[in-house]
Amino acid sequence: MRARLLLASSSIFSKRCGDLEVSSFGVMDDGRWDTTVEEVDNHLPSSSSQGVSELNDVEEDEWEMVAKKGNQFVINGQPFYVNGFNTYWLMVFAADQSTRGKVTEVFQQASSVGLTVCRTWAFNDGQWRALQKSPGVYDEDVFKLALDFVVSEAKKYKIRLILSLTNNWDAYGGKAQYVKWGKATGLNLTSDDDFFSHPTLRSYYKAHVKAVLNRVNTLTNITYKDDPTIFAWELMNEPRCTSDPSGDKLQSWITDMAVYVKSMDAKHLLEIGLEGFYGPSAPDRAQFNPNSYATQVGTDFIRNHQVLGVDFASVHIYADSWISQTISDSHIEFIKSWMEAHIEDAERYLGMPVVFTEFGVSSKGPWLQLIIP
């Protein structure tokens, strides 16, 4: 999820392809998301307050953990279908009393139109309103007023959360911040990709994982790792390791972190946060990549998702950023083949559900008015 993109996708769906669960998330900036949901909400037969009342009538024992059975998400053995959205800013808005109501509003609106899963950040490293001020040092007010509140409000409106644990990009800290922290202690680090290989930086990340998973929510008194409100943990938003095109460095990190997360929390689902680029392990699939560079960013869709502990696959779609900003039939052709390839791989090779967790178009394209009149 990149701040430079204004994401305008409004299609949000979940469907079955054979026995495979295929889900997709629409991604909005906050302004567009509000408009979209309000427009739909105006045509609903019942009011939001009625919807909340109905949600509150749901028995607590029906709020069970989402699990995976083969290629299908399930709750109590019954299929669970994802209708999802991304709202990365929830924790930052919740940290400020003047904007906290926006969090409640988003969940209320999402629930009223039948959305079931929200993907958001469970990190803010060394930045404005930081959750983690320095390695292993947290702002308790941000934990309590922000992340605890987000999880609590999601539960109230029966929205499940995919919580991402750090960022490949600089926004909200991410791996660059971990490297800065390491350099400040005198570590000899030469690249932000040292995040994936240096043992000290790995220990910093593990400490953050431990702090979040073992956190007892001050508003619900439920430990995060025991809370069914959390649909899944995401290791990282869009991990890339361009310094090692072989993919070995990132593969080692994913393997280490997947085992670590599962050793602490075997109940929740886990995903990596990948964009879906094919790498060296599947040269015949590289034809589906948007460009030749995608093969060189250190990720490997099939190999990465074969790591023990990873429960479902993630894919992103940004045709205009990856191919060109001039919209054409080539975008539609790419998206069709991109989706079909990953659906096939998830079913045939990985044996797991696949979720298209981000898709959108850039605000830089002059053709945006064709999509948003």
Q: Give the whole-angstrom CA distance, residue 216 versus residue 159.
A: 19
Amino acid at 255: T
In whole angstroms, give the CA distance from residue 261 to residue 310: 10
End-to-end CA separation in angstroms for the chain: 24
Q: Max alpha carbon distance in the chain (Å)?
A: 62
Q: Which helix (DSSP H) or strand (DSSP E) does residue 40 occupy?
A: helix 30-41
Token code pair at residue 119:
């993907």
Which DSSP state fits 293?
G
Query: Looking at 199-278, which runs of residues are DSSP E strands?
Result: 230-234, 269-271
- CA–CA distance, 324 with 362 (Å, rounded to integer): 10
Neighbouring residues of 355: CB distance < 8 A, sequence distance ≥ 6: 21, 22, 23, 24, 25, 82, 84, 271, 312, 313, 314, 315
Q: Catalytic residues, which ones?
A: 238, 358
Identify which of 163, 159, 164 has the alpha carbon closest to the alpha carbon of residue 63: 159
Q: Which amino acid appears at position 101 of this protein?
A: G
Question: What strands lie across the sheet with 67-69, from one edge to the other?
Answer: 67-69, 72-75, 78-79
Backbone angles phi, psi at 18, to 5 degrees: 65, -125
Phi, psi of 342, deg, nearest 5: -75, -35
Strand pairing class (117-121; 84-86): parallel
